[in-house]
Structure 1
């Protein structure tokens, strides 16, 4: 597959760069795009026309995915005391230009320690047994409304999808907040839809998140979203897909509001004021 060529619905083993460049002629919608549309069509259109610049802070997560899933760019340790010298900057830039990930020795060791911790977690280790699934696979599907959708599965098993995510904390309260903040409930529904439509998993197939902390002791939690979270994710995706179709047809991508908006204080602030002035 190459960019801007005719693509048949199905599963493809292609580089991440090609997937993110969107090889579908005329464009396709990803889970990230659906989440941006849910927030604001104008913001979605901006990022569509102005792809986000490269962010080195994402490299740690990319490197962790490579080690944990056994698929990804080459990881190159740059064993220099300082990364702000011209020599080291040039070396790091060359590594990135080659499509690889530069890492400090301490960061590489931390990722290896994370992999060892994950291997000691019975359920996570069982889900990611080498040969039990396919890593970093890209799927493309055109739905009944003619909208092309795409997804990139971290780990695709015959009966379920597994998604590995690094996190600051795997405390239940922190994960609940992360799911809502990052729209993981939309990702769950979006990926399931594509995988089921393509026959990659059965209709009742699971979506399991494997969350792991980035600091010692590198705690791991395997989680599935409950029915209300999945239902809300499905509803938000349905709205995003409708918005996407309408905006593409009209080439009109509205912002939050285009008229004067009246803003209230947050409910908690109103309650606090009322309690203090009784």
Structure 2
């Protein structure tokens, strides 16, 4: 999907295109991403607002983006903005120029940190083997169509019968990973990406979806993880719910909020247990 074909008929496939083109959604009439599906499964009204009101890059995402660049070898340029204070006029001007050029501005401590993260990951045998240079391709864009709905995904790393996704986080303790997966609906993402790869015949039915979680603070611990069958099944059902809301919203213009009528709200379950014991 090059600049010459953006206006031509698009066919399902795997494309090597820039991230900004992918995120701008080159599919005429629009396509649904995993991020959109996760928003739809939670609240269609919020999805529609976010779709109509795209937000600029947030500083909070810069370290994760930079880590992806150094770990996967693909992504925006990282630029050191070396000021003691980032709230000075000169610093703000330089930061704005860096972002306008599509690069990521980083403080010296942040740049040193992501370099240390990449080195720590290379020392983790399983993670390093999954991301071994030449064993796969980074940041390729998948586009496919089913039931009249175009969908898209951009795997971090695609290799023979494996989809690898790299996540930066605050804790790689397995119990905390479980909470993180639920909070950010990573089980939906895993099902969405694997389904897309199946549809495009890039992987077989036994393909693995593997997460590499890494902490953003020293000693930059790493955990390689897969989701169990139940988690993947819940992700699939949530994606089916999202696709229903997407089709219904596009057909009717109705994007409901959390509850269409007056909600009956209980106290948290732990409070009820306290008074019922």
TM (normalized to structure 1)?
Answer: 0.96
Secondary structure in 1 aligned to 2:111? helix
CA-to-aligned-CA distance 1:10-43 (integer Å, 9 cap, x gap): 1111111111111111111111111111111111
Q: Indicate whether 1:271 and 2:256 are aligned.
A: no
C-alpha distance in structure 2 between counterparts of 1:247 and 1:101, whole Å:
35
Aligned twin of 2:254: 252
- The residue number in structure 1 matching 2:91 is 88
Q: CA deviation at 1:258?
A: 2.4
Contact 1:28-1:148 within 8 A present in 2 as well: yes
Match of 2:240 among 228, 238, 241: 238
SS in 2 for 1:164: strand
Matched, 1:130 2:130: no
- How many aligned positions are there? 274
Q: Measure, in 1, the Cα distance between the counterparts of 2:270 and 2:78.
A: 47
Q: Which residue of 2 aligns with 1:55?
A: 58
2-side partners of 1:273 and 1:53: how far apart? 47
Report the 3-state secondary structure (helix = DSSP H, G, I; strand = E; otherwise coil) of the residue aligned with 1:134.
strand
Show the counterpart of 2:38. Answer: 35
Partner of 1:121: 124
Question: What are the ranges of 5 or more consecutive residues in structure 2 without an aligned counterpart?
Answer: none
Once residues 6 and 46 of structure 1 are traced to their aligned partners in structure 2, the CA distance between those partners, rounded to angstroms, is 28
Report the Cα offset of residue 146 of structure 1: 1.1
- Aligned partners of 1:6, 1:80: CA distance in 2, in Å? 48
Q: What whole-Å deviation, never above 9, does each CA across 1:230-278 have from its counterpart, x for those lacking one? A: 0111111111112211111111111122222211112211111233xxx
Partner of residue 219, structure 2: 217
Partner SS state of residue 153, structure 1: coil
Question: What do the CA deviations read for 1:49-100 (whole angstroms, capped 9, x no partner)?
Answer: 1112321111111100000000111111112212111111111110110001
Matched, 1:177 2:179: yes
* Distance change >3 Å, CA 168–CA 214, structure 1 → 2: same
Q: Return closer, same or farther for 1:99/1:5 CA change in 2, 3 Å cut-off.
A: farther
1:84-138: CA deviation from partner (whole Å, max 9, x where unpaired): 1111111111011000111111111111111111011000000101111101111
With normalisation by structure 2, the TM-score equals 0.96
1:210 Cα deviation after fit = 0.3
Q: Could you tell me which runs of 5 or more consecutive residues in structure 1 were left unpaired when the two chains were aligned.
A: none
Rounded to whole Å, the distance in 1 between the matches of 2:88 and 2:265 is: 49
- Whether 2:16 is the aligned partner of 1:13: answer yes
Pairwise CA distance, 1:5: 5.0
CA–CA distance in 2 between the matches of 1:57 and 1:243? 30
Which consecutive aligned stretches of 4+ in structure 1 deviate over 2 angstroms post-superposition? Answer: 1-6
Counterpart Cα distance in 2 of 1:78 and 1:6: 42
